[in-house]
Chains A and B, each alone.
Chain A
Amino acid sequence: MIAESLSKRFGDFTAVDQLSLRIGRGEVMGFIGPNGAGKSTTIRMLCGLIPPSGGRATVAGFDVGRESQRVREHIGYMSQKFSLYSDLTVGENLRFFAGIYRVPTKELGPRMRYAVSMAGLEGQQDTLVGTLAGGWKQRLALGCAILHRPPVLFLDEPTSGVEPEARRRFWDLIHDLAAEGVTTLVSTHYMDEAEYCNRIALIDRGRLVAIGSPGELRERGLGGALYELACRPLGAAVEALQGQSGVLEAAIFGDRMHVVADPAMLGLPALVERLRAGGIEVDAAGPAPPSLEDVFVHLVARGRDRRITS
C-alpha cells in the first residue's frame, strides 16, 4: 500500500495534507492521532470511498482514484460506526457479504464457519445481529470483511466502545491475519493499542508527524533522553531548568519531575549537579522509559509549534 502526497480538501478545510505512507505486505500499521486529525478521511480515500483532491495512492497495486472498483475487490473495510445489518442474523449477514464479494460457492461453507468461530459465535448463526454485544459485533464485522480473503485490510477505530478484554481478543485476530500475510492499516485512539502495531504513523491536522516502530518512537520521539527525578521543591526545580541549555523539556509528572535533555549536552550527573547548585534537594534520579503517550503528546505539541512559527 503506497500513498504519495495524498490530500483531501473539503472547501477551505484541508483534512489530509500531502500524506505519504508505505505499508509493506503483512505489516500492521497503526494510525494514531487526535480526533479530527484526518485518520478516517485517509482510510476512506485509500478504500476508494472518497476521491482524493490531490496526490495518489495504490492499494494492492490498484490506483484508488481510477481503479476504485478493483481496489474494493481487494480490500476489507470496517468503518468506525458499526455497519452490519442489525435486522439480519449472523448467518444472513455472512451470506450476504459472501455473495457481494463473490466467494466461490464451494468455499462458502468453510469460510463462513471460520468467520463464525473467529467471532466466537458458534451456535449463534440465527441470532439477530442487533441483539449482539459490542465485542461480538466487531469481531463479526471483521469476519464479514475478510470472507473474501482480501490482501489489504482497513480498520477504522474497530475497537472503539469495546471492553478491554474484547479489544485484546480483537488484536489477536489482527495478528493472526498479519501472520497469513494480510496488510493492515488500523486506526485507534487507544494508546495501549499502539503497542500492538508493527509500525505507527502519527498524524495531526492532516499531516504525518512521525512514523516508526513503537520502540523507535520511544527512543527517538522525544528528541532526547528522558530522566525522572524526585526533588524538592518541585515547582522551583522545574523553573530552574526551563530554558537552560541542553534541557528540551521539564515538567511535573505526578510527585516527580520529568526532564527531556539532549544527552550530548547534558547527562544525568550534570543535571543533578546543576539542580543541587541551585539549592534544590534531589532524592532520586534515573533514566525513565518514555511511554508512547509521552512521545505522542510531545510530537503533536512540537508539530503545532513549528507550524505556528513557520
Chain B
Amino acid sequence: MNLRRLSAMVYKEGLQILRDPRSLAIALVMPLMQMALLGYGVSLDIKHVPICVYDQEMSQLSRSITQRFDAAGWFSTVRTLGSQSELSRAMDGGTCIAAVVVPVDFSRRLAATGSAPLQAVFDATDVNTSNIAQGYLLGVLADVNARIAADYRDAHGLRSASLGQVDLQASTWFNETLDSRNFIIPGVVAVILALIGAQLTSLTVSREWERGTMEQLISTPVTALEVMLGKLIPYFAVGMVDAGVCLALAVYWFDVPFRGALSTLAVATALFSLVILGIGYLISVRFRSQLAASQIALLVTLMPTTLLSGYTFPIDQMPRPIQLATLVVYPRYFITILRGIFLKGSTLADLWQPMLGLVAFAAAIVWLAAIAFRKWLD
C-alpha cells in the first residue's frame, strides 16, 4: 500500500465521477426522486375506508353508533343502504370495503339481554386492508360499548367501581401517531444506498475492461488493494453525502422523529455503505461487461433490501425458514438500526447485535474485494 499511488487512484476516479453525467445523475438526483416516491407513495396506513351502513332499525341509538364511524377519520360512510340486495350490489361493485348492518331489533335486544349483535361485512379481496379495517371497527365498537356501559351506570345510579369495569387504555410507543411513514422512511435511506451504491461501483472495474484502460492500469505498479480502495473511497464519499441528504429530508421534510445519536447513525451508515459498495465492486471485478454488472448488482442489493430486510414486510411475520434466511440479508441489520435510532432513540449498547452483524458483513466483503482483483489479464 502506497499513499501516493492510492491518492492518484482516488484523484482519477473522482474526476471520472465528475465527468460522467450519468453517474452523477444517479448519485445526486436519484436519492431525491426515490425519497419523494417512497416517502409519499408507500403508505401502509388506511384512512377513510369507504363503508356502507344498512341501518334496519333507524333508532336514536343505532344512529349514534353509525355516526361514530365517520367521527374517528378511519372510515367514511359513502352510502346508506335500504335493503340486503343493495348491500350485495355495493360490495360487488367495490363501492365500499366494509358494510355495517344494524339489525331491526338491535335496541330491544340490548335493553332485554344487555348485549346485541351488529353485523359487519368485509371485502377481503385485499386481506391486508380488510384486516386493518376490522381492527379499526373493533376499536370504534369498544368505544361504543364503553359509552353504553357508562349510560347504564348513570341511569341506575351505580358508581363505576362497583361494576368492576376494566378500562383499557392502549398507549402506543415509539410511533405515537401510528403513522406508517415514520416506519417506512428510515428504511428508505437503506433502499437508496443499496440502489445507487452498488450501481455506481458495479460499473467502475467493468468500465475499465470495456474501454481497454485496464490493460494499461495492470501494467503499472499499482496494487490490487490500491485499485480497490482508490475506487471505493470516492464512491464512499458520494454514498455518505447521499445518506446525509436522505436523512435530512426524512427529518426536516417528512417530520420523522429523530431520537438517537447522529454519531451512531453515521457509524452504521458507513458500515452499510462499505458492504454495498464492496458488493458492487466484487460484481464489477467478476463481470467484465458494464451491463451484466449493473443487472447483477440490482439483483443482489435492491431485492433483499426491499423484500427480505423487514423494510416493508415484518420479519417476525415471515415463515420460519425465511426468517432464518434473513440472517444473511445484510440490510435487515441496517434497517433495524435505522428504526431504532430514529424512533426509539436506541444507543450503541441497545443496537450491538445488528451492529455486530453489519461489522461482520463489512469486514467480509471488504476482505473479499481486496483479494478478488488479480492483477493479471487472463
Listed in ascending order, the chain A residues whose CB lies under 8 Å from chain B are 10, 44, 47-51, 68-69, 72-73, 75, 77, 79, 81-88, 92, 95-102
Contact = CB atoms under 8 A, between A and B. Distances in A.
Contact of A79 (B7, B19, B215, B375): B215
A47 B218 CA distance: 10
Given A92-B15, A96-B11, A100-B8, A72 B220 contact: yes
Contact of B5 (A82, A86, A95, A102): A102
Given A87-B15, A99-B11, 20 more contacts: A44-B377, A49-B219, A50-B377, A69-B221, A72-B221, A83-B214, A84-B216, A86-B211, A87-B16, A87-B19, A92-B12, A96-B11, A98-B8, A99-B4, A99-B5, A99-B8, A100-B9, A100-B221, A102-B4, A102-B5
A101 B8 CA distance: 9
A20 B143 CA distance: 96
Nearest to A10: B378
B16 A88 contact: yes
Interface in B1-53: 2, 4-5, 7-9, 11-12, 15-16, 19-20
Contacts of B12: 85, 88, 92, 96
A72 B223 CA distance: 10
Contacts of A82: 212
B90 interface: no
B67 interface: no
Nearest to B223: A69
Interface in B197-223: 211-216, 218-223
A85 B213 contact: yes
A77 B212 CA distance: 13
B173 interface: no
A81 B212 CA distance: 7
Contacts of A101: 220-221
Given A83-B213, A87-B16, A102-B2, A47 B219 contact: yes
Contacts of A95: 8, 11
A201 B5 CA distance: 36
Of the candidates B16, B20, B218, B219, the one having the most CB atoms from chain A within 10 angstroms of its own CB is B219
Interface string B294-331: 00000000000000000000000000000000000000
A85 to B, nearest CB: 6
A157 to B, nearest CB: 13
A79 B221 contact: no
Q: SS class of chain B's interface: helix, strand, loop or mixed?
A: helix
Contact of A50 (B2, B211, B376): B376
28 contacts: A48-B219, A49-B219, A50-B376, A50-B377, A51-B376, A68-B375, A79-B215, A79-B219, A81-B215, A83-B211, A83-B212, A85-B12, A85-B16, A85-B213, A86-B211, A87-B19, A88-B12, A92-B12, A96-B8, A96-B11, A97-B8, A99-B4, A99-B7, A99-B9, A99-B11, A100-B8, A100-B221, A102-B4
A98 B8 CA distance: 8
B208 to A, nearest CB: 9
B39 to A, nearest CB: 34
Contact of B216 (A10, A68, A79): A79
A126 to B, nearest CB: 12
B97 to A, nearest CB: 55
Interface string B224-253: 000000000000000000000000000000
Interface of B: 2, 4-5, 7-9, 11-12, 15-16, 19-20, 211-216, 218-223, 375-378
Contacts of A69: 221, 223
Contacts of A102: 2, 4-5, 221
A100 to B, nearest CB: 5
Given A50-B378, A79-B212, A95-B11, A88 B19 contact: yes
Contacts of B11: 95-96, 99
Contacts of A99: 4-5, 7-9, 11
A98 B376 CA distance: 22
Contacts of B220: 72, 97, 100-101
A83 B376 contact: no
A145 to B, nearest CB: 8
A186 to B, nearest CB: 15
Contacts of A84: 213, 216
A55 B364 CA distance: 38
Nearest to A83: B216
Given A79-B212, A86-B211, A49 B218 contact: yes
A274 B219 CA distance: 59
Contacts of B214: 83
Contacts of A83: 211-216
B155 to A, nearest CB: 85
A238 to B, nearest CB: 47
B290 to A, nearest CB: 14
B219 A77 contact: yes
Contact of B20 (A47, A87, A100): A87
A81 B2 CA distance: 28
A47 B377 CA distance: 11
Nearest to B2: A102
B57 to A, nearest CB: 78
B17 to A, nearest CB: 10
A275 B273 CA distance: 85
Of the candidates A44, A82, A85, A92, the one having the most CB atoms from chain B within 10 angstroms of its own CB is A85
A272 B16 CA distance: 70
B8 A72 contact: no
A73 B221 contact: yes
A39 to B, nearest CB: 15
B134 to A, nearest CB: 59
Nearest to B18: A87
Contacts of A96: 8, 11-12
B136 to A, nearest CB: 57
A99 B211 CA distance: 21
Contacts of A47: 219
Contacts of B7: 99
